[in-house]
Amino acid sequence: MSESDESEDAAVSTASASGENPPVRRLADWNAAALRDLEAGYGSPLYVLDLDRVRENHARLEAAFPDAEVMYAVKANALADVLEALLAAGAGLECASAGELERALAAAESVPPADGLDPDGSRVHYTAVNPPSADLEYAVETAAEYPGLTITAGAEDTIDRLAERGYDGRLCLRVNPGVGAGHHEKVETGATAKFGVPAERAVSVLADAAERGFDVVGVHAHVGSGVSADQLEAHREFVSRMGDLARDVVHEVGDLEFVDVGGGFGVPYDADEEPLDLEAVADATRTALGEVGARLTIEPGRYLVADAGVLLTRVNTVKAARDTLAVGTDAGMTTLLRPAMYDAAHPIRNLATDADDRETVPQTVAGPICESSDVFCENRPLPHSERGDVLAIGNAGAYGYEMANHYNSRPRPASVVAEGDEVRLSRVRETVADVTRPERTAREQNEREAGGNAQPRIERS
């Protein structure tokens, strides 16, 4: 056993190695020494994603929802490693764009279905939200090659545009149920006009689509992110409306393959917040849905990847401000946008070997971006930071790298994935040359065209 003990020491988490599958991995459960080594080896800022934890999260969801189909919402973390691990575990993939669809189908090609058949797209859904024409064209072309692909439309317009392109394949309708849930107004989608067709129009829209030859396979809604224990009532209400709707559709239009109630399974961002009681949510979902004669589908994104990831960042500035200790880090809102965009309070841990011996003082941890919203926490009690410390920011596996951007001409960070006691680079660190490439390429193109009578070009999308 001593050999495996040694390798467990090197793993990024001590919790997983025990073979248990706790409902949440806290920032304290990560191995500080292993994370410090990663920062030393790969530099800062650095995203770390533990694939073993992604598999654990999937296994818990499957255990709670044994009869449901789990479609992972790719937008939470689109790394090929994540998509392949989840496909291999039996999940499907839900995509929000042509780019995600391309990634999902590539992953499906490299992880053949368990039944040994060729990938036919049946493990992939494309959910079109105000789809640009190029996205629809890609989806329709792709569906010709992968007839198992399901396209979810959220507007009659989208159905018309699919028909215009000759598509009459598998169609699901996204409805707007008129109830929302979510931890922040910006992630409530259930009552926002942008998403879905008002539920009361669903039957007529689907009847019409069926008449036009579409293969109507499902109804869908996603009411927002952050379904939590205290919102169980709202969840019940929403799912029961979906059950009623599905029965209406089956009665008026025809059989459905699935009823998709979306994602939104919450994870605790505060260290003292209780994890979601999955069994209770699963129970409430089953009861509220009732008998529909179709498979239940869920689309978790965050739940599968959030606590599997941390962001490592180095402290570069420590100064006494008026009411707080101001701590500057090399990661900022361009690296992890959620605190600036959603007021998300990610846990922060100082990985210094002597952190536990330091005085705890209120600190405001902020990044290098010239924006007052570029702040990870305000006046939070933490061990007194020192320049050179490495901080770990927890729950960074979902909507972390995916929302990273180039504002302030900041290159995006590197990322690594961990599996067992092995770690590999999953994205190289960008350079400023990566940030300036589109502009340099444009200049080169302009120069090539100068001399000829260069006309301004507007590419329609």
Ligand X SMILES: *Cc1c(COP(=O)(O)O)cnc(C)c1O
Residues known to be catalytic:
370
Q: Return d(Cα 248, Cα 444) in angstroms, integer.
A: 59
Among residues 325 and 345, whose Cβ is nearest to ligand X? 345
Do the Cβ atoms of 91 and 72 come closer than 8 Å?
yes
Among residues 302 and 410, whose Cβ is nearest to ligand X? 302
Among residues 96 and 124, whose Cβ is nearest to ligand X? 96
Q: Return d(Cα 192, Cα 195) in angstroms, integer.
A: 6
Among residues 35 and 73, whose Cβ is nearest to ligand X? 73
Closest distance to ligand X from the beta carbon of 260 (Å): 8
375 burial type by CB count under 10 A (0-12 exposed, 13-18 middle, 19+ buried): middle
Using a CB cutoff of 8 Å and minimum separation of 24, what contacts does 81-86 make? 81/49, 81/51, 81/417, 81/426, 82/49, 82/51, 82/54, 82/305, 83/107, 84/110, 84/111, 85/51, 85/54, 85/55, 86/54, 86/58, 86/304
Which conformational region is residue 72 in: left (phi greater than 0), alpha (psi within -120 to 50 degrees), or beta?
A: beta
3-state helix, strand, coil in the chain (%, to 5): 40, 25, 40
In the DSSP assignment, the letter for residue 317 is: E
Among residues 283 and 402, whose Cβ is nearest to ligand X? 402
Among residues 243 and 263, whose Cβ is nearest to ligand X? 263
**Is the dihedral angle over the CA atoms 207, 208, 210, 214 positive or is it negative?**
negative
Do the Cβ atoms of 255 and 247 come closer than 8 Å?
no
Closest distance to ligand X from the beta carbon of 125 (Å): 9
Closest distance to ligand X from the beta carbon of 231 (Å): 12
Closest distance to ligand X from the beta carbon of 220 (Å): 7
Selection from 18, 24, 13 nearest residue 51 by Cα: 13
Q: What are the φ/ψ torsions at residue 450 (nearest 5 degrees)?
A: -65, 150
Closest distance to ligand X from the beta carbon of 104 (Å): 13
Site residues (CB under 6 A) for ligand X? Answer: 73, 75-76, 94, 96, 127, 222, 225, 262-265, 299-303
Selection from 242, 174, 169, 172 nearest residue 212 by Cα: 169
The angle subtended at Cα 385 by Cα 384 and Cα 387, nearest 5°, is 145
Among residues 56 and 94, whose Cβ is nearest to ligand X? 94
In the DSSP assignment, the letter for residue 429 is: P
Q: Return d(Cα 55, Cα 50) in angstroms, integer.
A: 9
Q: Return d(Cα 78, Cα 418) in angstroms, integer.
A: 16
Among residues 175 and 249, whose Cβ is nearest to ligand X? 175
Closest distance to ligand X from the beta carbon of 129 (Å): 7
Closest distance to ligand X from the beta carbon of 299 (Å): 4
Burial 5-23 (b: 16+ CB within 10 A, else e): eeebebbbbebbbeeeeeb
Closest distance to ligand X from the beta carbon of 112 (Å): 25
Strands 309-320 and 46-50: antiparallel
